[in-house]
Amino acid sequence: MTSLTGWKSIPTGAFIMEPGNSSERYTGDWRTFKPVINQDKCTRCLRCWIFCPEPAISIVDRQYTNSSGRAWKNTIEINYNYCKGCGICVEECEPKAIDFIEEVK
């Protein structure tokens, strides 16, 4: 059993007193399939970042050099804490660099 705050302690009118706290609530736990980026094929075009309805595409400051020697300043990653597995990124990815694989828990 989790212990939640009682009626005496919640803010009056059920107001939410700290703004921007939605990032504290992980919403990515209902996936059936999950997108996985093939870093070798990824062109860093960021179409996935544009189309993702959640803040689930992260642009990470980490260099990556692919198999043909092309070097990228950034690495694109999926934040699975928020990714709901909708597959929009998979659909929109031009170089077909995102695989959609069954989530096994």
Partner 1 sequence: METMEKSIWKRLPLSSNYAVAYAAKDSDVDEIAAYPITPQTTVVEKLSEFIANGELLAEMVHVESEHSAMSASIGASAAGARAFTATSSQGLELMHELLHIASGMRLPIVMSVSARALSAPLSIWGDYSDVMNTRDTSWITIIASSAQEVYDSIVQAYRIAESVMLPVMVAYDGFMMSHTYEPVFVSEKSDLFRNYIPRKDRVILDTRKPVTMGAVANPDWYYEAKYQQVKAMEEAYGASVEADQAFSKLYGRNYGLVEEYNVENSDLIILTYGGLFGTVKQAVDEMKENGVSVGAARVRLFRPFPLNELRMLLLKSKAFVVLDRSFSNGLPVSGPLAIELKSMMNSYNITVPVYSYIVGLGQRTVSEADISKITNQALAGKGVNESIYWGVRE
Q: Give the torsion sign (CA, 91, 87, 54, 78).
A: negative
- Identify which of residues 22 and 65 has a Cβ nearer to partner 1 in the complex: 22
- Rg of the chain over Cα atoms, rounded to whole angstroms, equals 18
Residue 22, classed as helix, strand or coil, is helix
The residue range among 6-14, 30-38, 40-48, 75-83 that interacts with partner 1, by the rule CB under 8 A, is 6-14
Task: Copy the structure tokens of residue 34.
Answer: 């999950």
Of these, 1, 19, 61, 96, which contacts partner 1 (CB under 8 A)? Answer: 19
Using CB under 8 A, which residues numbered 48 to 77 contact partner 1? Answer: none
d(CA 80, CA 53): 13
Site membership for partner 1, residue 1 (CB under 8 A):
no
Site membership for partner 1, residue 17 (CB under 8 A):
yes
| Cβ-contact 29, 85 below 8 angstroms | no
- Identify which of residues 27 and 75 has a Cβ nearer to partner 1 in the complex: 27
The residue range among 10-18, 26-34, 69-77, 78-86 that interacts with partner 1, by the rule CB under 8 A, is 10-18
Q: Give the torsion sign (CA, 20, 23, 29, 32).
A: positive
Site membership for partner 1, residue 13 (CB under 8 A):
yes
Interaction site with partner 1 (CB under 8 A): 4-7, 10-17, 19
